[in-house]
Amino acid sequence: MAPHVDDTIADRSLSETGDGDVVTVCAECDGELDPGERTPTVATVADGVTVYLFCDEDCKAAFQRD
């Protein structure tokens, strides 16, 4: 399945594979995400909307503590 495609996805939630494909990853642990599954998110609006994606609520909570 194709990764999330949206300019608001944080660079920290995107990763380029060795093949040059872009995949979505957890912003906290870098684990690859399945774009077909719902994932916890955090949005910031400091310099426009930025969306961070997470593999689970624990990684989301750790990110928010930092």
**Cross-strand pairs, 52:** 42
- 16 found inside a domain: yes
Buried b (16+ CB within 10 A) or exposed e, 5-43: eeeebeeebebeeeeeeebbbbbbeeeebeeeeebbebe
Q: Work out how many domains the chain is built from and give that number.
A: 1
1 pLDDT band (50/70/90 cuts)? very low
| pLDDT, position 2 | 45
Q: Cα separation of 60 and 43, whole Å?
A: 11
Q: Is residue 29 part of a domain?
A: yes
**Which pLDDT does position 21 carry in this prediction?**
86
pLDDT tens string 13-59: 888 888 888 889 999 999 999 888 999 999 988 888 899 999 999 99
Residue 34 lies in a domain: yes
Is the pTM higher than 0.85? The answer reads no
The answer to whether residues 11 and 4 touch, using CB atoms and an 8 Å cutoff, is: no
Q: Residue 19 sits in which domain range?
A: 11-65
Residue 49 inside a domain? The answer is yes
Q: Does 18 fall in a domain?
A: yes
Residue 5 lies inside a defined structural domain of this protein: no
